[in-house]
Chain A
Amino acid sequence: MQEREKIRRRVSKVSYIAVILLIILIFLLGMLFGDWIAGLNSKEFSANQQKLMMDLIGLELKDKLISQKDICNLTWQDVWQEKVELGTRINSLELRYGKDNSEILAQKEIYTLIEIRTLLLLEEINQKCNQNFTIIIFFYTNRKNDPLGRWQACEDQGYILTQLGKEMDNIYVLSFDVNINNPALNMLKNRYKINKVPALVIKDKVSDYKTLEELKETI
């Protein structure tokens, strides 16, 4: 039988290289696009944070300049809503960029100061205006192997406090990451002698993790 013509095998090197380069380009474009959108969001967040800081300072100045009964007319509820929104956003930024990202940590420190300012404002309004709302200070960690306490218990406590806020009125929760190294926060931790987390401060009393039912009873 006459030998039949056979197929000449070849390796399409050019095609492989072209495909790999195309995929690298797609990955790069994807990264750039994602970072660009996230960057826009991040800038918006920084701007919002600055604005909120200014609003708080403005409220504090108003407080100093006006009489006692007028302090109760301050529009602090809007400030509170903005703060809550910022808190949600900083959590999202942590998830997106990572908890150890230096920019996020810087933003978080500013946010911590905003929270402390908000705490002081709320305490003053509560005292001077007979508002009778409950301020809960929540100390937590989001590090997996933190010697101060269990990260999972802190996350659980966070969800419980969120649910508490939905079910009861006049509950104001301020959350502080114990690993933020800031003099004002350190002072706050010392005030309540916080040495493990999760820690809750309700009506100046410090307690550990509480279930939803226990919190409702306490309040």
Chain B
Amino acid sequence: MEFQRILVYLVIFLSLFVTFFFLSIFIKFRNKEEKKLANPSKVTFVIPAFNAADCIERTVNAIFNSDYPQDKISVIIVNDGSTDNTLKIANNLTKKYPNIRVLSKKNEGKAVALNYGIKHVKTQITVILDADTLPKKDLLRKAMAQMEDKRLMAVTCKIIPSNRKKFFERMQVAEYAFTSFYRKLLHYTYALQTTPAFTVFRTEFFHKFGNFDAGNLTEDMDMGMRIQLNNYGVGYVLDSYAMTLVPRTFSSLKRQRIRWSYGTLYNLYKFRKMFSPKYGDLGIFFLPSILTGVLILFLISSLVIYNVADSGLNFFHRLSLGWRPSLLDLNLFSMILSLTDLKIILGVFVFLIAFGSVFLIKSEVKEKFSIIDWILYVFIYTWFLAYFYIAALFFFLSKKPQW
């Protein structure tokens, strides 16, 4: 019991530490003005497409529907050995829009397809876009505005799920909202280390520091870490977004998240020398907090499961003795006294902070999700994420899983 008490206090301490530190960043930077785009540069979108017949046209339409000067946009679609009509649709798009080029190659994975496309980029800016991701009209303009900061090598953006009806889809809406807020805070301190579905890059970075790592399960995080390793930054657009399809079922979500978790662990290990004061807050707080967050979730879920199981077993044991619960067993004095326990008081405090954060994140991220969905997200969904991480850790320590 003593060990459990210490564990609870440790979890509460770590939770509060991480929360308050991020809150301090939010308070410091919340009124920071977003930049305006002065001189639009020519950009080239590189879209790796594998069996993307149902979404590639919509994605390309969205690109040319943006409020960015059309004559400054080029698109390279890399057909990555698709077995459906992707190539045919892509070729048709070259007739619809002037600045589209279609490359075709055998299927070797997203990273290889990206690198193949990047080889053909002639502009100073390369935009990596997933084939099933739809950028909002003003996204490119806002991302390019951030590129005015010369210390940035890339700018990414808020990603929001386009499918949001089923339980796991709604959980991901809450999750992506939380992630967007978290990434915005990281961006303020130049600590963002991932470059997902829509990212604007300076092409020079590929030339100087190499292309996407084909052997890496999360090549986007690898690229983000490489940018940070060389002391450049990744920007983040929060007041626009790109929309993407998220896993609809538990099994597809599980597969995706274990892969992402594995990739994160792999990259944290690969770039382990960045866990150093030499990298400032990134090295001593933000990178360790990725693992701390997982540890906190794992400990909380384990403690709750253990205590619920223990109480449950005790309850059934008492029933086996002939005892039956009744209202007579309730005692106000006992209930009040149990609430005076420090871990209960602090637990309630942490819960209130988490609850308060819902309103903060909703207003900053401007995403719609209900309080019920948030509660389910915090108390159930995140626990699954923690256990996916543990599964990924197991794979990481044993052998690489086959995807």
Contact = CB atoms under 8 A, between A and B. Distances in A.
Contacts of B16: 19, 23, 26
A6 interface: yes
B13 A11 contact: no
A37 to B, nearest CB: 4
Interface stretch (B157-165, B250-258, B327-335, B395-403): B327-335
Interface residues of A, number: 44
Contacts of B171: none
Contacts, number: 124
A9 B278 contact: yes
Contacts of B207: 1
Contacts of B151: 4-7
B233 A7 contact: yes
A168 interface: no
24 contacts: A1-B204, A4-B150, A5-B150, A9-B231, A9-B278, A10-B280, A16-B21, A16-B285, A18-B24, A19-B16, A26-B349, A31-B342, A34-B340, A37-B340, A41-B340, A89-B333, A92-B334, A93-B337, A95-B334, A95-B338, A96-B340, A160-B323, A163-B321, A212-B321
B282 interface: yes
B333 A213 contact: no
Contacts of B321: 156, 159-160, 163, 211-212
Contact of A92 (B283, B337, B346): B337
B232 interface: yes
B364 interface: no
B318 A159 contact: yes
Contacts of A156: 317-318, 321
B17 interface: yes
Contacts of B231: 6-7, 9
A82 B37 CA distance: 77
B349 A30 contact: yes
Nearest to A162: B323
Given A4-B151, A34-B342, 8 more contacts: A4-B150, A9-B281, A31-B342, A41-B337, A92-B337, A93-B337, A156-B318, A163-B324
A57 interface: no
Interface residues of B, number: 50
Contacts of B232: 4, 6-7
A38 B322 contact: no
A156 B319 CA distance: 10
Main secondary structure of the interface of B (DSSP, over half): helix
Interface string A66-94: 00000000000000000001001101110
Given A6-B231, A26-B349, A163 B333 contact: no
Contacts of B309: none
A96 B5 CA distance: 13
Interface of A: 1, 4-7, 9-12, 15-16, 18-20, 22-23, 26-27, 30-31, 33-35, 37-38, 41, 45, 85, 88-89, 91-93, 95-96, 156, 159-160, 162-163, 166, 211-213
Given A9-B231, A92-B334, A163-B321, A34 B204 contact: no
Nearest to B322: A212
B43 to A, nearest CB: 18
Given A9-B283, A34-B342, A89-B334, A22 B20 contact: yes
Contact of A166 (B13, B150, B326, B344): B326
Contacts of A166: 324, 326, 328
Contacts of A33: 340, 345
A157 to B, nearest CB: 9
Contacts of A92: 331, 333-334, 337-338
